[in-house]
Structure 1
Amino acid sequence: MNKNIFRAAAIAAFTAVSLTACDKSKNADEAAAPAQNAPAELKIAYVEVDSIMTQYQFCKDYTQILTKKGQNIEATIQQKGQALQTAANNFQQKIQQNAYTREQAEAIQAGLQKQNADLQALQQRLGAEFQQEQEKYNIALHDSIANYLKKYNKDKKYSIIFSKSGDNLLYADKAYDVTNEIIAGLNKAYKPAPATKKENKKK
């Protein structure tokens, strides 16, 4: 549950919407038109995804929320696991001291096995809930970028906007870098949810 997960989510979200950021107002007939009707000049741009991750307030807010949630889950599982281990060690020690009758030992052992099963079930449930939160975040991130790029490109008229992460683009002239414009626009359009605002105030 580290930040690499959230970085990968940002890359996936941006890649999914950036490869063809053409004007969506074109109708199906235009989309199906022969290649010779394509613009004579290909207008392209690119965005640094790492910068989106570190400078887009949406990403920063939800990275913090998800990181905290992941840490809470780990702490809960660790605490309950340690308590169960302590109980198991105590049980084993008492067994060696012949402190229980056979019936008592079997009952305690059954109880420990149930606690272990309950702990595993809790871990699976919390893990599934965390994954659902991540998926909601990925969808929201994708939608926010897609919606903004659609508005942004009404005026800019780019044929393609690439996502650049690491060295996935072998060469990119900085003249085509629109990262700062995109981040500024995303942050201006971003309206934190009430719950997110409360989390920010706790910082």
Structure 2
Amino acid sequence: MKNQILVIFNLLLLLGVIGYLALKPTQNHRIAYVRSAELMDKYLGVKEARLQYNKQLTAWKVGADTLEKRVNATMNFISHQKSSLNDQQLKQLQVEMQRRRADLDRYQLNIQKKAASKEQKLFGGAVKQINSFVEQYAKEKGYSVVLGTTNAGNLMYGDKALDITEEVLTALNQSYKQ
């Protein structure tokens, strides 16, 4: 008797779920994708960030080159004048060379940290702008989902008709210019 009641209950429950799913209004989801790497390459905000970053890197490289020239000049002076220097002068020059080498090493380490921070700040901001823009664009155009493709292959295939990269890029760059 218990088994019969349980079977009847399960059948009624199953019929109820099937009925609900059959009568439930369906939503028409619009799905699209963008080629993320292309957005990053062609977005004017990223191009400007890249110019700023490269300009700063060039300035840092000039500073490093100057310090390296000082180290090399001291080494050359020591090697050419070694025979004419007394022990105390030689030791002073070697200490000076070590100090300059340490300055160069500290400067290069500092540059690496600053470069990583600057890169994160500039490019991270651009990525946030792109993501925010794509979200707003998707809402305005009625997309339920916009996927981003990467070279790593998170989207294995997408019909070209679903690719809105050029539309988004054009609108994104127009928005950036304003």
Q: What's the TM-score once normalised by structure 1's chain length? A: 0.67
Decide whether aligned partners of structure 1 residues 38 and 66 sit closer, same or farther in structure 2, where only a CA change above 3 A counts: farther
Return the alpha-carbon distance in structure 1 between the equivalents of residues 110 and 69 of structure 2: 19
Return the alpha-carbon distance in structure 1 between the equivalents of residues 48 and 26 of structure 2: 40
Return the alpha-carbon distance in structure 2 between the equivalents of residues 162 and 38 of structure 1: 25
Equivalent residue, structure 1, for 2:173: 187
Give the aligned residue type for 1:190.
Y
CA deviations on 1:106-149 (whole Å, 9 max, x unpaired) are 11111111111111111111221111111111331122112212
Of 146, 168, 171, which residue of structure 1 is paired with 2:157? 171
Equivalent residue, structure 2, for 1:50: 37
Aligned length: 155
Pick the structure with greater CA Rg: 2
Give the aligned residue type for 1:68.
K
1:86 aligns with 2:107: no
Return the alpha-carbon distance in structure 1 between the equivalents of residues 87 and 152 of structure 2: 66
Equivalent residue, structure 1, for 2:119: 134
The answer to whether the 8 Å contact 2:32/2:147 transfers is yes
1:148 aligns with 2:128: no
Give the aligned residue type for 2:33.
Y
Give the aligned residue type for 2:134.
L
More helix as a share of residues? 2
Return the alpha-carbon distance in structure 1 between the equivalents of residues 130 and 29 of structure 2: 22
Moved more, 132-141 or 68-77: 68-77
Decide whether aligned partners of structure 1 residues 64 and 190 sit closer, same or farther in structure 2, where only a CA change above 3 A counts: same
Q: What is the deviation of 1:175? A: 0.4
CA deviations on 1:175-196 (whole Å, 9 max, x unpaired) are 001111211221122158xxxx
Provide the aligned C-alpha RMSD in A. 2.4
Decide whether aligned partners of structure 1 residues 163 and 150 sit closer, same or farther in structure 2, where only a CA change above 3 A counts: closer
Equivalent residue, structure 1, for 2:8: none
Return the alpha-carbon distance in structure 2 between the equivalents of residues 81 and 121 of structure 1: 12
Unmatched runs of 5 consecutive residues or more in structure 2: 1-20
1:118 aligns with 2:103: yes
Unmatched runs of 5 consecutive residues or more in structure 1: 1-35, 193-203
Return the alpha-carbon distance in structure 2 between the equivalents of residues 39 and 73 of structure 1: 59
